[in-house]
A and B are shown apart, each in its own frame.
Chain A
């Protein structure tokens, strides 16, 4: 009863109803509304990239390729990579959940620079339009890595338009990163010391540092790439005195840390959910926090592991190999700590927890297969095959996308003021887990057997495993369409959510669902440590 009563009183000042015109959305500086603008945009790009993925899997059903032209296939996987990496994976958690939650978790009214936040969304949209233009104009045929001199001298695709799109998207990332760093430094509620911050904020802090330091390197690399293509300035092309390996060094100096930009926020989400649904303090809080920071630091020093067979020196391979093993240690620490958190807890299995457990399982497989490609001699055989494709999809899709869905379900009641249908949430989590494994596990075997990446057609002995993978992709597609359907449904017909439906700690649960525009009526004060579980009333509330 109290839920309904509070729902009627708070609709007057909820951020969702504070201004209903289109203008009030497009010119908003409210971090919560910007988060929703972003949520709509990245969902669009997730499905654009997803359609490309579906066509890739369709093509690979038959050895000669189901799609007639190799040129079309090459453009499809390039667009899949570009859209998924820069327009979904890198922004996804920071700009949606991060934008929504950073001020709420800090106990602040908004981010430090609300207008910069809005600008970052417009930059993202501008970049997205440029990317869609290059897609519609005919696409790019270089792979998302733009290796030179293929991309500078030989490609017939729209390389420059795509590069411009990524260049602009980079500025959007930098703006968001700066905003988070400064907000976390300056807007913490009274009493919230660094060690009282939720791990989600620590993760976004580490992510933002990477974004601010690494993205400019990508921007410079892309400018050089575009100049080389247009003016033949001779930086990367050996026929005019350049060095093609220089491009790979510069590109991976950004793009490897970018992997941690994708996964660190996911770690943050899981670190919030596992304690809440175990009703127990996060095990080893400081170790989890500092493992995020060490990943951000060591992550800058491992880019050369993409080049073990590229013609770099023997000594650089040795150094990058040992550093790659080092960067895996903090990730292992996190997995052990999440499991330690469940020990002695009181574990509930609502959809966010199911997604989180799926994350732990799939990410562990992704991490362990990372050791295969960090071990030099094994990498020589496995790199540039489907083994690598499976490995990074386990981390990026099995890991990061599961974490995004876990977080979206967890904070959905706070964001929308509505509950998603729990039973469908659980069904979705299970379908995604099994569909994912059926899609990508066969690719490990394909890779070991030698099937190269980016092949439009392939020898017939690889067909059975490819058909299995494509069948899994069909299930996975259903798994991803389900949340789109039932979450959209819940916006209109979902039950009203209480302020703290999961009985979780954290300042975001101390305000209304959905929160008022100013977030808190009174600035909250923090006295308790983070994850101050167990909460006594959990048992009664969930019967």
Chain B
């Protein structure tokens, strides 16, 4: 039994200030409301002898006063809450990316180096971390109360969430979007540790290769290399006669689409290209890329994205 919640991130303290300010303000208003009800109930009780003449006849001045004060206070609260939310929304550019896949009823985590864990997430402290999250089935929600963060995890798209843990420890992870029968069992632990211990943990749980290396193998196995080339170098160099765009240097750059718009080739864009190729067709190539929806698991998509990302530094031919 405890009535406090650890403030494990720097944002947690800021969110708590806002909540405590709201609590104090609410107590003041409640005191005013309950106090005046009690006061008037006693002073103006039926049959009681009192002066009842002080009641204001014209009410609009009072109405205007309490309406504008309420508006001003609310506007201040809006600014406070919104400013903090915007900062929580935008991750710093150097954040360490970790990938989270939710399914009924477990959390699967993939680290950059290929380490995998279930219903647990190991993170280093003192460093911004960005989760890239997707769901294999229904909507879930990744929530860590000690971090004061929460975000829905949706099927069919990547949602992100960032935080920076300041205090080593083990914190509860909950799914907070009702997701079916064992929703209440979809919990886990976030283990925050100092960087050396984290690196040690990564080593002990070493995988057969980084996500990008595993992605390179999948790139051959799913036949991507047939059109995009053995190292993603593009159609002309590929063994096949089919002309497909080069993937080298694609990630993070601008991608022109057939409808004339230009989008940034981020994780979501590459995911869509693999699973829903007709959604955002790239300009200048025949629309022959088949959809891999239902054939590639979410984990494999993440590894393919990691591989294509690893080609970003290579200059396009």
Q: A residues touching B (Cβ–Cβ < 8 Å)?
A: 65, 70-71, 74, 141-143, 147, 149-150, 153-155, 238-239, 241, 244-245, 278-280, 283-284, 287, 308-311, 314, 317-318, 321-322, 325-326, 328-329, 332-333, 335-337, 339-340, 342-349, 357, 360-361, 364-365, 368-369, 371-372, 374-385, 445, 448-450, 452-459, 461, 463-464, 538-539, 542
Contacts and interface: CB of A to CB of B under 8 A. Distances in A.
Given A347-B41, A384-B141, A283 B18 contact: no
Nearest to A151: B138
B241 interface: no
A380 B66 contact: no
Nearest to B146: A450
Interface string B143-168: 10110111110111101000000000
Nearest to B142: A309
A513 to B, nearest CB: 22
Given A314-B89, A361-B33, A365-B30, 9 more contacts: A143-B178, A321-B82, A344-B53, A347-B41, A377-B84, A377-B85, A378-B81, A450-B143, A452-B175
A383 B19 CA distance: 13
Contacts of A239: 155-156, 293-294
Residue in A311, A377, A459 whose Cβ sees the most chain B Cβ within 10 Å:
A377
Nearest to B26: A368
Interface string B64-84: 001100110011011011101
A339 B46 contact: no
A149 B182 contact: no
B221 interface: no
Contact of A70 (B47, B150, B176, B181): B181
B288 to A, nearest CB: 19
Contacts of A71: 181
B151 A309 contact: yes
Contacts of B47: 346, 539
Interface string B1-41: 11101000000001100110010011001100110110011
A364 B181 contact: no
A380 B149 contact: yes
B93 interface: no
A381 B150 contact: yes
A244 B154 CA distance: 8
Contact of B40 (A150, A347, A453, A539): A347
Interface in B209-233: none
B34 to A, nearest CB: 6
Closest 3 A/B residue pairs (Cβ): A450-B145, A238-B156, A375-B81
Given A149-B138, A283-B59, A311-B159, A375 B78 contact: yes
Contacts of B148: 377, 380-381
A284 B45 CA distance: 21
18 contacts: A142-B178, A278-B44, A280-B55, A309-B152, A311-B159, A318-B82, A321-B81, A340-B62, A345-B44, A348-B45, A361-B33, A368-B30, A375-B77, A445-B3, A449-B3, A450-B145, A452-B143, A461-B1
Contact of A375 (B18, B46, B178, B183): B18
Contacts of A378: 15, 18-19, 22, 81
B180 A150 contact: yes
Given A287-B59, A381-B19, A364 B33 contact: yes
